[in-house]
Amino acid sequence: MDAIQDVLGTIIGQLQTPTLAFLIAGMMLAALGSKIEVPKPVYSFIVMVLLLKVGLGAGLALREASLAELAVPALGATLIGVAIVLLGGKTLARWRGVEGPDAIATAGLFGAVSASTLAAGMAVLDDVGMTYEGFVGALYPFMDIAALMTAIVLARLAEVRAVGQAATQTTLLMADGTQALSARPVTTATVTQTKAGFDGAAIRGMFSDTLRSPPISALLLGLVLGLVADTAPVYETFFTPLFKGFLCILMLCMGMEAWSRLAELRGVAHAYLLYGLTAPIIHGMLGFGVGLVAHELTGFSAGGVVLLAVMAASSSDVSGPPTIRAAIPKANPSAYIGSSTGLGTPVAILSIPLYIALAERFVGG
């Protein structure tokens, strides 16, 4: 009983940190109908600065880190991204009113990483004085790319199976001497053409597009510059002082965006409402478990365990949606964006104190 009270007390206390308070304030402003808004160019600039800061910090930390220290958490992050998509896609597809492409697209976004949620986690840890490995930001692409690529591959495989089944049905109908149901029957050539689109070149193209997305490009740029250039002075004098202030503005925007996205869920199955509320916690606990394994194997810090859980709990809000929209055009954006941005993001950010409390209990500060 005392353990539960300690955890609840920690959670309530940390909800008052600036990062989480601004998120809640943004949701309240939107609920009250406020017209306040941040211009899109300013929002994009803030996101770029935050990601450059995370990337630079990771690059500077990697100079001192060993391959063994990075390898286990990186492998864990990759496996988490793949597992979330596989489990989420299967789970959603079983619910009434959920189409296959929508299930895969939604699971893909929830498996990918929200850079703003990761930044929020870092800020909260800084506020409570919990240390973490500087290279944790470098784990972002491992989980993010693994999840998006898994979702895209699953969607392509499902499309190939659907075309193959249609071709088989048409062949059977024609063999029985019965007229095909479709005016344009699916032929073997159609199946071959679809399978041809699912080759190594297509996978490499999707992988390349994901890497070139603005958030991952900014993160990787900061990572490389932190590794090879003398960026410590500008990191300390420019990026670090701006980080928390910019992040608070971003949280305000995200709170308002999350509230406005809730309306999109009215037109889709209630399954997305339940998934958006529960999946971030389940995924976060999965990430926390993998972090504990890394802690036992490599001494991964308590803060690192928390941030791995935060990344797993988050759902992509910048790079993921355009990637999914282009790769899975049959999916309904109201379903996967509404559930991820409208529910998944605020739940993931507000759950950060939970992972901190668990880390203090099971890992140590």
CB contact set of 139 (below 8 Å; sequence gap of 6+)? 73, 74, 77, 307, 308, 311
Query: For the chain, how long is the longest CA-to-CA vector?
Result: 78
Please name each of the domains of the chain with its CATH number.
2-362 (1.20.1530)
Contact status, residue 323 vs residue 295, Cβ threshold 8 Å? no
How many angstroms separate the CA atoms of 56 and 335, rounded?
35
Q: Which residue has the tokens 């979702």?
A: 151
For 231-250, b/e burial (b = at least 16 CB within 10 A) is beeebeeebeeebeebbbeb
CB contact set of 111 (below 8 Å; sequence gap of 6+)? 80, 81, 82, 83, 84, 85, 88, 143, 146, 147, 148, 150, 151, 283
Per-residue pLDDT of the chain (365 residues; tens, 9 = 90+): 555 655 555 556 656 678 888 988 998 998 899 888 889 889 889 988 988 998 899 889 888 888 878 899 999 999 999 999 999 999 998 888 888 899 999 999 999 998 889 999 999 999 889 999 989 988 988 898 899 889 988 888 887 777 666 656 555 555 555 544 444 444 444 444 444 445 566 667 767 776 777 777 888 899 899 999 999 999 999 999 999 899 999 889 888 888 888 777 776 768 888 999 999 999 999 999 999 999 999 999 999 999 999 999 999 877 788 778 878 888 888 888 888 888 898 999 999 999 999 999 888 65
Q: End-to-end alpha-carbon separation of the chain, Å?
A: 21
Residue 318 structure tokens: 């910048």
CB contact set of 205 (below 8 Å; sequence gap of 6+)? none
